[in-house]
Amino acid sequence: MGMFDFFRGRIGFIRGGKYPHCHTVVVDDDMRAFIDASSDRDKLLALDGEREADIILTSHAHEDHMLYNSLFPRAQLFVHALDELPFRDIRALNAQYGLSPEEELFWEDFLVKECNYVPRRPDRLLADGNTVDFGRTQARVIHTPGHTPGHCCLHFPNEGLLYLADYDLARSGPYYADVCSSIEDTLRSLDLLAAIDADTFLTAHGEGVYSASPDLIRAYRDTIYQREERLLDLLADGARTMDEIAAACIVYGRPRTMGAWDLSLSERMMMKKHLELLMGQGKVTSEDGRFSLAG
């Protein structure tokens, strides 16, 4: 397989390293495409030097999925319409994360220097159900919001492959910590993906290649319900502030960082979304900055 950690038909898979990297799907057909070009810089450049990439398709607007996009300025950039703006404006990318003004300055510097951010106008805006034709290989775009508004997965029906992108089947569960992330959309997206017939799942992080089973997706989805249950158990022992809830590390189990990324902010943002959902359902109330079970 040479360059690739997995290969089927005209589709290859290159594993990436730690954040801000992710795995890359390569389609080597009449059109050569890098899907989430953030894996191995040397391998991607070697492939492009051998035969130039025609398409860069980025599953969603996070820096660890556009890391090496700027290395391929002559390729067409495909992204979902709802995630277009962060590719064009670094302030829009930063605004997704709910940062303080000081943190925004740090992250803007990090995005440019460490994540190679270069503003770029996409050449094609994708929508649910679109077909991307690479020649003898076709992919169906599956709009799967929740992680980001424009997060997309790709189904290669002839090869039996389903690329789940950042619905990555990690044991810690789904990520929905952006300002525009949604628990409800994440649940709907995962139920949709579980119903798609495939032989193999590919993901953007973690192991990367899985024998397909809807049970894998359902178990990943169910971590959302488990987080909610642990939050309700915590509040059953008494009212808690947001700081106390975040300190319980319900999502990640312990304080964690990934390079420049402090996951305590993600923990807080996801717990905030759970609290908002539970308050909307009348299960939790808030008074003087403290959250407690209703009734």
3-state secondary structure 70-139: HHCCCCEEEEEHHHHHHHHCHHHHHHCCCCCHHHHHHHHHHHHHCCCCCCCCCCEEECCCCEEECCCCEE
Query: What is the per-residue pLDDT for 275?
Result: 98
Q: According to the 3-state scheme, what is the secondary structure of 154-170?
A: EEECCCCEEECCCCCCC
Q: Check pLDDT > 60 for residue 79.
A: yes
Integer Cα distance of 227 and 174 in angstroms: 11
| Average confidence score pLDDT of the chain | 96
Integer Cα distance of 291 and 242 in angstroms: 8
The mean pLDDT of 19-38, rounded to a whole number, is 98
**Minimum mean pLDDT range among 94-103, 107-116, 194-203, 269-278:** 94-103
Radius of gyration of the chain (CA): 20
Q: How confident is the model at residue 1 (pLDDT cuts 50, 70, 90)?
A: low
The mean pLDDT of 191-205, rounded to a whole number, is 98
Distant-in-sequence, close-in-space partners of 256: CB < 8 Å, separation ≥ 6: 263, 264
Q: Check pLDDT > 60 for residue 166.
A: yes
Integer Cα distance of 87 and 79 in angstroms: 9
**Tokens coding 69:** 């996009």
Query: What is the per-residue pLDDT for 295?
Result: 79
**Tokens coding 198:** 């495939």
**Tokens coding 131:** 């077909």
Q: How confident is the model at residue 255 (pLDDT cuts 50, 70, 90)?
A: confident
Integer Cα distance of 219 and 237 in angstroms: 27
**Tokens coding 104:** 């925004």
Integer Cα distance of 13 and 41 in angstroms: 14
The mean pLDDT of 244-250, rounded to a whole number, is 97
Q: Are strands 138-143 and 152-156 parallel, antiparallel or unpaired?
A: antiparallel
Query: What is the per-residue pLDDT for 268?
Result: 95
Integer Cα distance of 201 and 216 in angstroms: 10
Distant-in-sequence, close-in-space partners of 225: CB < 8 Å, separation ≥ 6: none
Integer Cα distance of 73 and 84 in angstroms: 17
Residue with tokens 């997706």: 217
Query: What is the per-residue pLDDT for 227?
Result: 98
Integer Cα distance of 100 and 11 in angstroms: 41
Residue with tokens 């059953």: 236
Integer Cα distance of 282 and 182 in angstroms: 18
Q: Which CATH architecture has domain 6-219?
A: 4-Layer Sandwich (3.60)
Q: Check pLDDT > 60 for residue 192.
A: yes
Rounded to a whole number of angstroms, the distance between the first and last alpha carbons of the chain is 61
Q: Check pLDDT > 60 for residue 251.
A: yes
User: In the chain, what percentage of residues exceed pLDDT 70?
Assistant: 98
Residue with tokens 């959902």: 277
The mean pLDDT of 247-254, rounded to a whole number, is 94
The mean pLDDT of 266-295, rounded to a whole number, is 96
Q: How confident is the model at residue 27 (pLDDT cuts 50, 70, 90)?
A: very high
Q: Which of 32, 21, 12 is nearest to 161 (CA)?
A: 12
Query: What is the per-residue pLDDT for 258?
Result: 72
Determine contact, residues 220/190, Cβ cutoff 8 Å.
yes
pLDDT digits (tens, 9 = 90+) for 263-274: 889 999 999 999
Query: What is the per-residue pLDDT for 256?
Result: 78
Count Cβ atoms within 10 A of the Cβ of residue 33 and give its class: 0-12 exposed, 13-18 middle, 19 or more buried: buried
